[in-house]
Amino acid sequence: MKITLRQLHYFRALAEARNFGRAAASVNVSQSALSMQIRELEDHLGVTLVERLPRDIRLTRAGRAVLERGVRVLDEAMEIEASARHEGLGAALHLGMIPTVAPYLLAGLLARFRAEDITRELRLREAMTADLLTGLREGRLDAVVLADPPPAPDLDARPLFEDRFVLAGSRARLASVGMQPEALRPAALKPEHLLLLDDGHCLADQALEICALDRRQTRLDLGAASLSTLCGLVAQGFGLTFLPEIALRAETAAAPDMALRRFAAPEPARSLALVRRARSDPGRWFDDLHRQLVAVGAGLLTEARARVP
């Protein structure tokens, strides 16, 4: 028997979870199947990789050495798969975007893709930041677009552009805020007036951080899953929300009664970035993708800043 990538994958999951049950759940197999693969790996190598404790596991000295080399092997295998996908003009590009970005950048990106290379296929996954990072690290995604990505040694983040926030609501609601444009600051807003996206959306977390608030201080937890839902509500006077500039074109068209105001300088903003695995080959595809995203964003920002000076 030879060492398999599956065995190394299961062993890495076990080392990270430190528990057979949790490790099995993370790789979607039964605990007995995972345990059998670990045992077979140990038998083949002739060493004990883990000390089996009542509610935990501990890597042995040999286990630590195998894990270090096994992770390198798995990373290399993922890069072989990713590189193979990009061989030839018809190769698909697997891209992930957070939900508060995808609806606004995707149409322009696809148009630019088709104009430059009609044979190129783009496969998009829209998901929360944590899920996108998992997909990227596991090789299921080639790159992801995130807002303020956390620094990590295994990731390479290339800045795209700064996306400022404006305050959105009905005209009556915005008039009730009472502050002059030069004095309108997020921290001065009444928390009971704010409507935010559901837990897990980085845009909601950023808005709370900007205002130095806890979600429990907001007036109404609607569990809204999209900016479009929030914009429809605030346009009817149900509260106020933060709207990123790249969303202005789409959301003002869908909710024409919605009014907008800019915050005083320095305006609150998020920084969007294109992220790949640091060990992956950036190649021309990454540079092309970055250039296209920057161009799409620039067009949306220019329009937004003309619409709301």
pLDDT band at residue 203, thresholds of 50, 70 and 90? low
The residue type at 196:
L
Range of the domain at 204: 162-269
Q: Same domain for 223 and 245?
A: yes
Strand, helix or coil at 94? strand
Closest CA to 260 of 231, 238, 233: 231
pLDDT at 169 > cutoff 90: no
Predicted TM-score (pTM) of the model is: 0.68
CB contact set of 229 (below 8 Å; sequence gap of 6+): 222
**At residue 30, does pLDDT exceed 50?**
yes
Query: For the chain, what is the mean pLDDT?
Result: 83
The residue that leads in pLDDT, 134 or 176, is 134
Tens-digit pLDDT profile for residues 57-115: 899 999 999 999 998 898 888 777 766 655 544 567 899 999 889 999 999 998 887 77
Query: Considering only CA atoms, which of 267, 206, 203 is closest in space to residue 231?
Result: 203
Looking at the structure, do residues 166 and 265 belong to the same domain, yes or no? yes
Same domain, 13 and 109: no
Number of domains in the chain: 3
Is the domain of 157 the same as that of 276?
yes
Interval 39-50: pLDDT, tens: 999 999 999 999
Higher pLDDT, 60 or 191: 60
Q: Which pLDDT value is given to residue 272?
A: 95
Q: What local confidence, expressed as pLDDT, does residue 252 receive?
A: 86
Q: Are residues 43 and 55 in the same domain?
A: yes
Q: 236 and 200, same structural domain?
A: yes
Lowest mean pLDDT among 2-11, 19-28, 145-154, 219-228: 219-228
Q: What is the CATH number of the domain that holds 172?
A: 3.40.190.10
Note whether 201 and 100 are within 8 A (CB): yes
Angle subtended at Cα 6 by Cα 124 and Cα 131, rounded to the nearest 5 degrees: 30
pLDDT at residue 88, rounded to an integer: 45
pLDDT tens digit sequence for 111-158:
887 777 655 678 899 998 989 999 999 889 999 999 988 888 999 999
Please give the DSSP secondary-structure letter assigned to residue 63.
Answer: H
- In this predicted model, what pLDDT tens digit does every residue of 265-286 receive, in sequence order? 888 889 999 999 988 776 678 8
Q: Is residue 264 located within the same domain as residue 121? A: no
pLDDT for 89 equals 43
Residues 287 and 257 grouped into a single domain: no
**Is there a single domain that holds both residue 169 and residue 185?**
yes
Residue 39's pLDDT is what?
A: 93
What digits encode the pLDDT tens for the residues 251-264?
888 888 888 889 88
- Residue holding tokens 């909710």? 255
pLDDT of 178 higher than 80? no
Boundary of a domain, candidates 84, 107, 140: 84
- Is 183 found in the same domain as 45? no
Residue 209 has pLDDT above 80, yes or no: no
Can you give the pLDDT at residue 227? 81
pLDDT of residue 213: 57
User: Rounded to an integer, what distance in angstroms lies between the CA atom of residue 138 and that of residue 242?
Assistant: 33
Name the percent of the chain lying above pLDDT 70.
Answer: 83
By the 8 A CB rule, do 148 and 281 touch? Answer: no
With contact defined as beta carbons under 8 Å apart, do 277 and 156 qualify? Answer: yes
